[in-house]
Amino acid sequence: MPPLREDEAHKAEQRVAELRRLIDYHNYRYYVLDNPEIPDAEYDRLMRELQQWETAHPELATPDSPTQRVGATPLKVFAEVQHGVPMLSLNNAFSDEDVVAFDRRAREGLDHDGELVYAVEPKFDGLAITLHYQNGHFAQGATRGDGYTGEDVSANLRTIHAIPLKLPEDAPPWLEVRGEVVMLKRDFERLNAEARSRGDKEFANPRNAAAGSLRQLDSRVTAKRRLTFFAYGIGRVEGAELPKTHGETMDWLAELRFPVCQERRIVRGVQGLLRYFAELGAQREQLPYEIDGAVYKLNKLAEQEALGFVARAPRFAIAHKYPAQEELTVVEAIDVQVGRTGTLTPVARLKPVFVGGVTVTNATLHNEDEVRRKDVRVGDTVIVRRAGDVIPEVVAILPERRPMRDLVTPLHEAFAMPTACPECGAPVVKLEGEAATRCSNGLSCPAQRKQAIIHFASRRAMDIEGLGDKLVEQLVDKGLVRTPADLYELTVAQVAGLERMAEKSASNLVAAIERSKRKDLARFIHALGIRNVGEQTAKDLARHFGNLDALMQADAEMLMQVPDVGPVVAESLVAFFAEPHNRAVIERLGQTEAWQDGEAQPFAAGHLAGKTFVLTGTLPNLAREAAKALIEAAGGKVAGSVSKKTDYLVAGAEPGSKYTKAQELGVTILDEAQLLKLLETP
C-alpha cells in the first residue's frame, strides 16, 4: 500500500491505539474476570481489523500489540504448572477467503509454489490440557491457562478412563501429550437428566459441563461425570525421534494407546481444506461430540518449524470456525455501563432466549455509533448470535417487526448516549475521531475507580491474590478504598467487617497485599492503567528509563525515543503524569515501597534504523534467526513479505517468489556477504 499522508497516519495511529485498548480490555474481561462483555465475533472483528492495519502498515506494529500476545490468566484454585513448551491458541478463519489467505501466507513463508499438504481434524469444543509421562507413567496433567502457566488437575485427569496411566514399554522416557477433554453428547444428556431428577441446575452445554467437571476440587465429583479425551499433538519428547509429519505423529500416539480422532485426514491445497470443512460440517450433528470448526495444520513438521510462531499463535495452523447459531428475541431495555477508562458501553437487556445451548439475557452494543448504525431500539425484535457458539451479540434488527406508534405501544425513540455518567452524574465527553464516549470524572467516578483497582491488583500487574471484583466493590462502596494506595493501608479489622469475610480470610488478604510490594518497575507501570500503555510497552518504558522519576519527567519527544512509542502513547503518558491526582497517588505508593526501580538500558537506534529487510532462501553460513537478530541489533526491521516499503531483500540459495517480486519492485537485493558488510558499516 502507498505511504499514508500525515493526516491519514495520525488517524491510523489513533484507530490502531483504540483497537489495542479495546482488545486488551476485552481480554481482561474474558480471561481474568471470566465475565466477557462482547461476543467472539466482535472480538475477532477487532483483532482482524488490527491485524489488517499492522499487515498493511508494518510501521504501526508494536511488540505489545494484542496480535503478538496471547491475552489469558489461569484461575488460582489449583497449583500452578509452568509449561515448558507454551500452549498457544490458534488464529481463526471465518470464511473461505480467510482460508485462502492462510494458505497463501504459508506458501509465501516457505517459498513454495505448489500445493501444500495439510493435516486436518475437528476443532473440539472442550478444554485443552497437557499430559506429562515419565518412564511410561502418567506424572502430571494441567490445563492450558494463559498458554504459559496452567492449573495442575492431575487428580481429576486420573479419573478419565480414556487417559492411559501407563504407556507401552517402548514409550520414550519423557513424553508430553497435548489434547482436549470433552464430554460426549450422550454423557451430557445423561448428566442433565440426573440433574433434572434431583431438581438441580442443568449445564448449558457439553463444554461447560466438561470444564466444570475438570475443575472440581474433589476428584470424586469428577469421577462421577463421564469425561473423555482426544490427543491432538505433542508438546515435548525426550529419548525418542519424532515422526516427520503430524499425521504420522497421530498414528504414533494411537500406537501408544492414546485416543485420537477418527475424523482426521490428510489433504492437499486449499480445495482439500474447504472440501474437508464442508464434509465435516455435514456430519456435525451426527458426531458423538460437539465441535465448533476444523483445525488445519501443515503436515510436515519441518515446514511447521520453518514457519514458526508469533507470540499469540502458530503461523502453520489455523482454526476454521462454523457460522454462529442465531435466534430472535426482543430488546426490553438498553442500559449503559462504565468501564475502567470511563468508556460508556450500551448493553441490550433481552427477553431471555436459548441460543446454542445457553440462555441469553444481555448483549453488548459496543458504542453509540454502533447502536445508531444498527438502529437498535427498545421493543425491537433482533437477531442474536452466539459468535463461535459462545458469546451473544445483536446482529441486526427486524424493521418489519418494530412496534407501530399507537396509544398503547408508543414507538421508542432512537438511542442516545446519556449526557451525564450513569454512575456519578459527571458530564460525558466524546473526543474527535473516537467512537467511545467517556465519563469526564476520572477516578472520582465509582465505576472507574473499581475497575482501576481491579486492574491494579490483577495477576499481570501487582498480582494481589484474593482481591476479586466483589471484594473491590465492597471496599469502594464502603469508602475504605478510593485509590490503589489505600489498599496498602487496609487493616484486618476493616476487611473482616465486610460481607462474607472473616478474620482469617481478612488476614490472608492483608498478607497478600503486603506480598505484592516491591514489584519490578514494568509491572508497576502496567498496574497504573495508563491509556494505550500495555504490558509490553510498560516493559519497554521500564527498560529505557530505569526509574519512575525519569519516566514521569520525560516529555513526548523523549518518550518517542522508546521503540514503538508513538505520538498517541506519548500523549497518554504525558497527560497521565501531568494529573496532580495521579502524582499524589504515586507518591503515596512510593512511601509503601510498592515498586522498585532498576537501571536504565536505553534502546540503541542503530545505523539501520528505519530500514526494512526481507529474508529468502538459504544463506551459506547464517541461519535465518541469526540473520534476523543481527539486522534487528543494528536497528533494522525484518518483514515476512516483499512490498514497496521493503528496502533490502537478503537472498540465499533457492530464493523463490520473493526474489522475483523484489526484482519487479526494484528492491535492492543483497547476498550474505553484502549483508554482513552493510551490518558492519556505521
Catalytic one of 123, 300, 321, 637: 123
Nearest Cα to Cα of residue 426 among 416, 448, 438, 441: 441
d(CA 217, CA 224): 13
What does the chain come to in residues? 682
How big is the CA angle at 454 (ends 450 and 457), to the nearest 5 degrees? 140
Nearest Cα to Cα of residue 614 among 633, 629, 628, 602: 628
DSSP 295: E
Which three three-digit cell numbers place residue 676? Answer: 554482513
The helix/strand/coil state of 117 is strand
- Judged on CB neighbours under 10 Å (0-12, 13-18, 19+), 480 is middle
Task: State yes or no: is 519 an active-site residue.
Answer: no
Sequence-ordered list of residues with C-beta below 8 angstroms from that of 525, at least 6 positions apart, any chain: 533, 538, 541, 542, 548, 551
Which three three-digit cell numbers place residue 256? Answer: 501408544
Q: Please answer whether residues 129 and 143 qualify as being in contact, where contact means their C-beta atoms are separated by less than 8 angstroms.
A: yes
Q: Please answer whether residues 154 and 327 qualify as being in contact, where contact means their C-beta atoms are separated by less than 8 angstroms.
A: no
* Distance set, CA 527 to CA 273, 344, 582 (Å): 44, 22, 13
d(CA 171, CA 164): 12
The enclosing H or E element of 227 equals none
At residue 295, φ and ψ (nearest 5 deg) are -115, 130
User: What residues are labeled active site?
Assistant: 123
